[in-house]
Structure 1
Amino acid sequence: MSDTLNWTSYVDTKAQAEHDRLTLLQEIFDPFSARLLDRVGVRPGSQCLEVGAGAGSVARMLAERAGAANVTATDMSTDFLAPLASSGIRVLHHDVVVDEQPGEFDVIHSRFVLEHVTRRDEALRRMASWLKPGGWLVVECATPVPELSSDPAVRRALAAMAALMARSIGTDPAWARTLPVPLENAGLVDCTADGHTIPVRGGGALARWLTATHRLIEEPALASGAITADDLAAAYATYATPTYVDYTWLTIGAMGRRAG
């Protein structure tokens, strides 16, 4: 059995609603990803791997910089990646924990993957071993911080989501806060990490994405008693209120280089 998060536990990966959710994710987080890629210097001809390609935007960024033929995009569900294959990007159904090495790379990137993998340190070591000497691994991981929310219902909804995912699929929402130490433990050098947070503004893209993400686990969360229907409805109403502002979602971007 795979140890990598399989979203089919919660979502139809072929559904338009999931595509829309991933499109929002890209709108929100792609600018930070682009800055990280520019820091490591993706160049024409660089061999690049995107682990957990989602709807494909970071793989497209890599293709713009390195050339489509030099990019491999992997995911546990490749339903939304057909356009990448049509553009010349190599698309693979691949489990980063157990499947064979997909090549050797100058740049490997993943976003919102490792926090959901129970054997995350092993996955990180595997990815580090796939780098060419001098190659860079760039990892982005999310860590919600419900305790910072000014709204009690949002605080409870975020905490319930984190707790349910931890119990059901092994997500560790605090693991991101240990970066870049896991990269150092994987044998990489010149390791650094930056935290990135943007406001959750009611009605904005991040609030709509959080609402859509809560809805993925709404049924099991309610069934388990992790949150009440009233609290969840109140959180959704808050996320839709234009005057609501909060800072409850932190992304850590970390990078490290293989010596040589």
Structure 2
Amino acid sequence: MSETLNWTSYVDTDSSTEHDRLTLLQEVFDGASQELFDRVGVRPGWRCLEVGAGAGSVARILADRVGPANVVATDMSTALLEPLAASGVRVLRHDVTADDAPGEFDLIHSRLVLEHVARRDVAVRRMASWLAPGGVLLVESATPMPELSGDPVVGRALAAMAGHLGRSVGTDPRWARTLPLPLEEAGLVDCTAEGHVVPARGGSAFARWMIATHRLVEDDVVAEGAMSADEFAHAYRAYSDPAFVDYTWLTIRAVGYRAPR
């Protein structure tokens, strides 16, 4: 049974609204992912797997570097990945915790996915086993820090969002803070991790992505009584105001290698 829990049932992943949210995510985080690829030396001919490919930008970046035929892009919903398939990338509907290995790879990458997967440590172990000797696993995972918000209402909205996703989807907002331990426990070597904080400047792509992500849960959170609609509106005004800056979103990027034979 699929263990990549309820994200695709909780969110309409084929909708234009979700496409727009993922487009903002790509604008914010693609640069950091490319820096990781530079660091590990991704080069033509590498066999690459993108787990949880979303709207496809990272798989497209990899295809430009290694050739489309060398890239596999997987997700639980692949409707937004059709342009990739047309370009020669192999696109698969695939559950990283349950489905057969989609191949052997020199690079496996996953971004802002594993924190939403119920059996995330199983997923890491499986991905590690799909690496060729000397291959590298890159995991980018997020952990919100609402306690650091300069606006208490904005902080409560972020905490309410994280709490609701934990109850409804199985998200663990603190799992990223254990990296790189899950990579080491999966048998990988030379594991490292680092944190990167993106400022939520009002009106920026990141702030607009935060609004769009809060809107995913707003109705349910209000119905539960955890936040009011007025409080969400206050948070959205803050995220729209260029005079507002907040540092409450930590992305942890972990790297681990399969030992060469």
**What TM-score, normalized by structure 1, do the two folds share?**
0.98
Q: CA deviation at 1:222?
A: 0.9
**Is 2:202–2:241's contact at 8 Å kept on the other side of the alignment?**
yes
Q: CA deviation at 1:11?
A: 2.5
Match of 2:151 in 1: 151
Match of 1:28 in 2: 28
Give distance in 1, aligned partners of 2:219 and 2:147. Answer: 23
Give distance in 1, aligned partners of 2:189 and 2:13. Answer: 36
Alignment size in residue pairs: 260
Match of 2:204 in 1: 204
Matches within 5 A, 1:96-245: 96-245=96-245
Q: CA deviation at 1:9?
A: 3.1
Q: CA deviation at 1:169?
A: 1.5
Give distance in 2, aligned partners of 1:123 and 1:200. Answer: 30
What letter is aligned with 1:129? S
Give distance in 1, aligned partners of 2:138 and 2:219. Answer: 34
**Is 2:7–2:169's contact at 8 Å kept on the other side of the alignment?**
no
Change (3 A) 1:243 1:159: same
What letter is aligned with 1:84? L
Give distance in 2, aligned partners of 1:126 and 1:252. Answer: 20
Give distance in 1, aligned partners of 2:16 and 2:111. Answer: 21
What letter is aligned with 1:227? M
User: Which moved further from structure 2: 49-58 or 221-230?
Assistant: 221-230
Give distance in 2, aligned partners of 1:237 and 1:253. Answer: 30
The answer for unaligned runs of 5 or more in structure 2 is none
Give distance in 1, aligned partners of 2:183 and 2:203. Answer: 36
Tell me the SS of whatever aligns to 2:250. strand
Q: CA deviation at 1:7?
A: 2.9
**Is 1:51–1:96's contact at 8 Å kept on the other side of the alignment?**
yes
What letter is aligned with 1:59? A
Give distance in 2, aligned partners of 1:13 and 1:178. Answer: 28
Give distance in 2, aligned partners of 1:22 and 1:143. Answer: 18
**Is 1:6–1:76's contact at 8 Å kept on the other side of the alignment?**
no
Give distance in 2, aligned partners of 1:9 and 1:145. Answer: 26
Q: CA deviation at 1:119?
A: 0.7
**Is 2:193–2:254's contact at 8 Å kept on the other side of the alignment?**
yes
Give distance in 2, aligned partners of 1:6 and 1:73. Answer: 20
Alignment RMSD (CA, Å)? 0.9
What letter is aligned with 2:237? A
What letter is aligned with 2:198? I
Match of 2:59 in 1: 59
Give distance in 2, aligned partners of 1:131 and 1:240. Answer: 43
Give distance in 2, aligned partners of 1:163 and 1:225. Answer: 13
The answer for unaligned runs of 5 or more in structure 1 is none
Q: Percent identity?
A: 70
What letter is aligned with 1:148? L
**Is 2:8–2:76's contact at 8 Å kept on the other side of the alignment?**
no
Tell me the SS of whatever aligns to 1:183. helix
Give distance in 1, aligned partners of 2:196 and 2:39. Answer: 15
1:3-40 per-residue CA deviation (whole Å, 9 max, x = no partner) reads 21443333222211111110000000001100111111
Give distance in 2, aligned partners of 1:142 and 1:228. Answer: 25
